[in-house]
Amino acid sequence: MKYGFDNEKYLRIQSEHIKERIAQFGNKLYLELGGKLFDDYHASRVLPGFQPDSKLRMLSQLVDHAEIVIVISAIDIEKNKVRNDLGITYDMDVLRLREAFQNRGFLVSAVVITHYNRQSSADAFRQRLHRMGITTYCHYTIEGYPTNVDLIDSEQGFGRNDYIETTRPLVIVTAPGPGSGKMAVCLSQLYNEHKRGVEAGYAKFETFPVWSLPLKHPVNIAYEAATADLNDVNMIDPFHLEAYGKTAINYNRDIEIFPVLNALFEGIYGENPYKSPTDMGVNMVGFCIDDDKICCDASRNEIIRRYFTALNRMAQGDGNENEVNKIALLFKQARIGLDYRRCVGAARSRAEQSGVPSSAVELADGTIITAETSSLLGCSAALILNAVKHLAGIDHSIKLIPQDMIEPIQYTKINYLRSHNPRLHTDEVLVALSVLSTHDSNCRRALEVLPQLHGCQVHSTVMLGEVDHKIFKKLGVGLTCDPAKKPV
């Protein structure tokens, strides 16, 4: 895989920049953490070389100075909101996040339930946390938030919220997903710290959009594609331009809320230390790109990937046409079409010739490998076999998994596991290769080249099942699918 991002440089300069910001505010900083902390696969896709846990590794350098507050909205608890990438509810993810942080040596000091209005489900969750020995606080819904500044900045607003007891200079405020109320928690703490004579500071750590890259840079366009369902729009920060005469990129929600934040800061401290929403950020990721061409290519592929994901969601009744149309418009800004993703055309061409579902992979050197569905293998399983044979230099005519081994597996699937699809999936093919590798050198060589699929791009002419999606994700493969149901 070709890398365009210097991860080690990022770990070094990002942690130093956060230390400088802590010192700027008298050794007490509330850091709102946007995006995913230790599973940021979007960043790793658009910035090849960025590790999914880079932000956590970077913050680990500050572990002795930091504590973590996890925020969850009572509204999301009530709705049983689910993280689409993990398939678990937000309340379960709070527990997952807490355990993951603690396993990395972080102090998780509390969970804050926001938008609290005595919802029964929120009370039940709070009692569960209490039984587990987890300190919990409640922050209430404030009428007219965020525009009713006079009410917000008062004892009936932020003053009504529970004060979160913290002990360390850096307080990282994170959540399972967007809309949880992280910023409000930070601002509420500033108000209540000020009442106690502590002049704490606030900063925002969000990777995208990258403020130091141009507005129409593919990395920033890919962020718009990723948040098409939220209607986020990248914009030039007008406050930054006015204050410094320099162009910086932010997004509509932060720009729209800045006048309110400015009024809140002035209400709490008498002045705002920041002249623009960009000033509030501490993101240094744009300074760690060392091959712009690689990152641009990866980001254009990500835009197309998001388009197919939106199409698939709509086909399954879980998306909407507006999201699809918005991403399609971004194609023009990025100056691409579906043909930019070479595996799409290759898979569709193979399907047209064969008349059955097909798939294609573009390898790191640009080689295209294709495969089609057969009576024994699904097109994704067949593709993995074809790809590893090519990478290992094994003749295509050689059958790595003999038919007399596949057929008993199929019999078990149909007769004992009551499956309607006898064909082997990707995980079953990899298990079979593993079993055979103990005495078959070709199977052993095929397994040894699997890491070379990391960063490759795959397209399927049918929507794949959850198992195949997970296998490609674990292999680090970028997958897209046409929104067509897979035939049994």
CATH number (domain holding residue 265):
3.10.630.10
Judged by DSSP in three states, 293 sits in helix
Domain annotation covers residue 307: no
Indicate if 89 and 236 belong to the same structural domain: yes
Q: How many domains does the chain have?
A: 2
Last residue of a domain, one of 248, 273, 288: 288
Q: Is residue 267 part of a domain?
A: yes
Q: Are residues 274 and 391 in the same domain?
A: no
Are 266 and 129 members of one domain? yes
Based on the fold, state whether residues 70 and 170 are members of the same structural domain: yes
By the 8 A CB rule, do 482 and 308 touch?
Answer: yes
**Per the domain annotation, does 263 fall within a domain?**
yes
Tell whether 262 and 166 lie within a shared domain.
yes
Task: Say if residue 283 is in the same domain as residue 347.
Answer: no
Query: Does residue 327 lie in a domain region?
Result: no
Domain boundary among 288, 308, 328: 288
pLDDT of residue 486: 67
Distance CA 231, CA 330 (A): 13
Nearest Cα residue to 394 out of 403, 386, 383, 404:
386
Asked whether residue 328 is domain-assigned, the answer is: no
CA distance 470 to 459: 15
Helix, strand, coil percentages for the chain (3-state, nearest 5):
50, 15, 35
Asked if the bond preceding 176 is cis, omega within 30° of 0, the reply is no
What CATH number corresponds to the domain at position 354?
A: 3.40.140.40
Dihedral in degrees, nearest 10, Cα atoms 475, 316, 252, 200: -60
Q: How far apart are CA 92 and CA 89, in angstroms?
A: 5
Are 140 and 119 in contact, with CB atoms under 8 Å apart? no
DSSP 117: S
Domain that holds residue 463: 341-481
Query: How many angstroms separate the CA atoms of 56 and 54, rounded?
Result: 5
- Does any domain span residue 324? no
What is the distance between the alpha carbons of residues 324 and 228, in angstroms, rounded to a whole number?
8
Q: Distances in Å between the alpha carbon of 60 and those of 26, 107, 202?
A: 21, 11, 20
Determine, yes or no, domain membership for 168: yes
Looking at 288, 303, 331, the residue that finishes a domain is 288
Residues 164/184, Cβ–Cβ less than 8 Å: no
Express each pLDDT in 375-394 by its tens digit. 999 999 999 999 999 999 99
pTM: 0.88
Q: Are residues 172 and 284 in the same domain?
A: yes
Residues of the chain short of pLDDT 70, as ranges, are 486-488
Query: Are 345 and 283 found together in one domain?
Result: no
Which token pair is 46? Answer: 């658009």
- Say if residue 72 is in the same domain as residue 195: yes
Task: Confirm whether 116 is domain-assigned.
Answer: yes
pLDDT of residue 488: 47
- Give Dmax over CA atoms of the chain in angstroms: 79
State whether 68 and 156 are in the same domain.
Answer: yes
Give CA–CA dist 184/140, Å, rounded.
Answer: 10
Which one, of 250, 285, 251, 231, lies nearest residue 40 by Cα?
Answer: 285
Instruction: Indicate if 283 and 350 belong to the same structural domain.
Output: no
Same domain, 93 and 237: yes
Where does residue 365 rank: exposed (0-12), middle (13-18), buried (19+ CB within 10 A)?
Answer: exposed
**170-174 vs 88-89, strand pairing mode:** unpaired
Q: What is the chain's mean pLDDT, rounded? A: 94
